[in-house]
Structure 1
Amino acid sequence: MQATLTFLGTGTSMGVPTLGCTCAVCTSTDPHNRRTRPSIRIEYDHHTVLIDTGPDFHAQALRENIRRVDAVFYTHGHADHVLGMDDLRPLSFLLKENLPLYADDSTALGLERIFNYTFKSEHRNSTSARVEIHRLDLTPGAGVPLFGAFFQRIPLLHGRLHTTGYRFGTAAYLTDMSDLPLESIPLLQDLDILIIDALRRDPHFSHSHLDKSIAFVEQLKPKRAFFTHMSHDLDHEATNAILPPNIRLAYDGLQLTFEIA
């Protein structure tokens, strides 16, 4: 079954342009250098699945004409990945059942704390988002069967934090990571598309950087690789010019097709 993946956002937590910055990338006229907070949409068999809803989700949804969401997977609880959850409200009203959200326990607890008015059981506001959180099984190789596809949890290291990547069919999405635990390597074989964190050129304590991300691609050997969660350190055209031909910088609005089941 074929699916379409759209990059809703490809930027770092501060976005690009970064507020107050006058560097060449932040003042660039190249639209590929405008990066909202990281998220993707996956469409298949008339269903729409999101991974993360950051603070730019409202604008991203308008830009991509998102009129339906059937499920959301979360990678971790940082602001640039969860703060758009409340913008799911009008989309959740269109569903017969509660909109399912999938997250590990710490991320789920964070969502329940930030959006307590949505999840509280007593005196709940009738206009709150109609959502329901499902805790992910942390067993290596476990995942969620959904609408004929399988979303497999990929353990990641984000500095000292444990975060979640996802594999779905022949594609994998690994944002906000500094390293791959050994148990994740077998889960990432035979990929068509690998999407991976590449924050900047210089090393960072909680994110992969350009050379390290290239090394991950060489290790995992996907057919195609795309870098995301990028700061204003990486100019789109200049960086693509030095990358191997099977690796490209993603950009907001980029669409890819792949087999999901």
Structure 2
Amino acid sequence: MRITFLGTGTSQGIPVIGCSCEVCLSADLRDKRLRVSVLIETDKTIVIDSGPDFRYQMLRAGVKDLDAILYTHEHKDHVAGLDDIRPFNYLLKKRIAIYATERVQEALQREFSYIFADTKYHGLPQIDMHTVNSQSFIVGETVVTPIEVMHYKLPVIGYRIRDFTYITDAKTVSGNSLSKIKGTKYLVINALQKEDHISHFTLKEAIAFSEKVGAEMTYFTHMSHNLGLHANIENELPPHIRLAYDGLTISI
């Protein structure tokens, strides 16, 4: 299984429009962060979340095939790029499987009403919708286990595939959800900034959660410019915890 980080930034990305902080002005390419998303290549090609940078992320990573999109939640930085699946429909002559909770499906139907309208027109995104609940499901031959975490008061779905677990926009994780994560060798978790935040793990909280899980390697994602320079923050971390960056690939 091959994992590619398509985007590791928060909802505004880095650099932030109009910002002149040292992170936004950094020449280090690891400090250039698109909105958060990850590509998983197993027997099928899977993307978790299609944010507003989805089109560019597909081009930059050279993605030629796509079988499924798994959605974590309905915020715009995670769903806004759904329309850009159309070239896959056209070139590959296939529909794209969409996996989302009923609440997220309702949000997609509001945001992209033309996809679901009774009157169809040529070139619409072609999708097959699948409902995510608490049960594991299969994409091709790949077993996917949903894991509910809380983004303040909003339930967000993380996903575990084999020894890899991906969680974004988490602030609290229940004991039941933690039990689904335990045993993971590769953990991806959000670490927004050092300062307290109502709906995201801080750096300190993300480190503590990583230690609780006990993964062999943890990668932080969904990072804002307030976290600090990539090079500086990595120097503060133990060897088994790293900051992810756009374009990073890992093989499992």
Q: TM over 0.5: same fold?
A: yes
* Residue 163 (str. 1) matches residue 161 (str. 2): no
**Partner amino acid for 2:181?**
L
| Seq. identity, % | 39
Quote the Cα distance in structure 2 between the aligned partners of 1:164 and 1:95: 28
Q: CA deviation at 1:108?
A: 0.7
- Of 153, 161, 168 in structure 2, the residue corresponding to residue 175 of structure 1 is 168
Deviation >3 Å, runs of 4+:
94-97
**Partner amino acid for 2:3?**
L
Q: Deviations over 1:107-137 (max 9, x none)?
A: 11111111111111x2111210111211112
Which residue matches 1:247?
241
Q: CA deviation at 1:96?
A: 4.7
**Partner amino acid for 1:246?**
H
**Partner amino acid for 2:232?**
A
Which residue matches 1:118?
115
Q: Residue 225 of structure 2 aligns to a residue in which SS?
A: coil
- Of 85, 96, 99 in structure 1, the residue corresponding to residue 96 of structure 2 is 99
Q: CA deviation at 1:192?
A: 1.3
Q: Deviations over 1:176-208 (max 9, x none)?
A: 111101210110111110000100001100000
Paired residues in the alignment total 251
- Native 8 Å contact 1:118 1:125 kept in 2: no
Which residue matches 2:230?
236
Q: CA deviation at 1:95?
A: 4.2
Q: What are structure 1's unaligned runs of at least 5 residues? A: none
Cα RMSD (Å) of the superposition? 1.0
* Residue 227 (str. 1) matches residue 220 (str. 2): yes
* Residue 8 (str. 1) matches residue 6 (str. 2): yes
Quote the Cα distance in structure 1 between the aligned partners of 2:148 and 2:66: 25
Q: Deviations over 1:57-113 (max 9, x none)?
A: 111111001111001100000000000000011112244542110001111111111
Quote the Cα distance in structure 2 between the aligned partners of 1:123 and 1:146: 29
1:1-261 correspondence to structure 2 within 5 Å: 3-45=1-43, 47-120=44-117, 122-137=118-133, 139=134, 142-234=135-227, 235-258=229-252
TM-score after normalising by structure 2: 0.97
**Partner amino acid for 2:57?**
Q
